[in-house]
Amino acid sequence: MPKIGLKIWSTNLQYAPIAQELFARKIFDYIELFAVQGSLDTLACWKQLDIPYIIHAPHSYAGLDPSVAADRGANMELVRQVERFFDALSPAYVIFHPGVKGDLSESIAQFKSWAQKFPGMYAKVVIENKPLIGLHGETCLGASPEDVQGLLESTGRGFCLDFGHAICYSVAAGKDWKKVLAEFLKLKPSMYHLCDGFFSPKDAHAHLGSGEFDLPFLVQMIDEGKPVSLETNKDRQDSLDDFVVDVQKLRAYAGV
């Protein structure tokens, strides 16, 4: 059985007491916390929870696009904020996206600059694959297995396999999704992202069982004991009941 993660944002303070209660009930194993820009004041709340963490750095929609040379200074400041989360919460991994607007060579250069500035945090960095087409129609970098392999080899970092992103890439690229996933698995993921979705170029983050994905097939690909964050949507601000249902379905798919 993999370790199950609850994905929430650092500004989702309303979920903190609920998460602590669900963790005590062994519903999930860790929080994947998206470090929202300018939310360092929330650290005291998250630090008091007795729950392991994985940190997700801001992505291009949240202000951090490592593929853009003109943004190097602003990106460095955002990564400095991520390091504050890292120092406070001691996460197992820190997830970064490759970027959107520029090119992968710049993404690689910026990752390497962060390795020099933040060596402790950089040792825990994993890079997540992206769909080829973003939610607003933009072209994303790091979508193909070949591009991700190049990123990992150039940066020396680990890999977060997002199943939904991989399937969306396969649709946009006109490739067989099972063959695409087989290529991604050769990169030996350190952790995973899972949700349901549709055979479309765009990601949906649907609740498990509400889309078209072959979830039992996907779940059996996850290595025993490795983290898998459920990236399903949250339907309410005062409850995580929908997340609990998703966890129950995941355990059923895993035969637990």
**What mean pLDDT comes out for the span 112-117?**
97
Helix (H, G, I), strand (E, B) or coil at 209: coil
DSSP state letter for 140: P
Q: Which of 114, 82, 110 is nearest to 10 (CA)?
A: 82
Structure confidence by residue, pLDDT tens digits, 215-241? 999 999 999 999 999 999 999 999 999
Q: What is the pLDDT of residues 131-140, one digit of tens each?
A: 999 888 889 9
The rounded distance, in Å, linking the Cα atoms of 95 and 125 is 6
- Asked if the model's pLDDT at residue 143 lies above 90, the reply is yes
pLDDT tens digit sequence for 149-195: 999 999 999 999 999 999 999 999 999 999 999 999 999 999 999 99
DSSP 200: S
Q: Name the residue type at position 154.
A: S
8 A C-beta contact, residue 109 and residue 148? no
- Nearest in space to 118 (alpha carbons), one of 153, 161, 78, 151: 78
pLDDT tens sequence across 45-78: 999 999 999 999 998 877 899 999 999 999 999 9
Indicate the average pLDDT of the chain: 96
Output Rg (C-alpha) for the chain, integer angstroms: 17
Domains with residue ranges and CATH for the chain: 3-253 (3.20.20.150)
pLDDT of residue 210: 97
pLDDT tens column, 206-215: 999 999 999 9
Beta-strand pair 191-194/227-230: parallel
Q: Please tell me the predicted confidence (pLDDT) of residue 101.
A: 87
pTM: 0.97
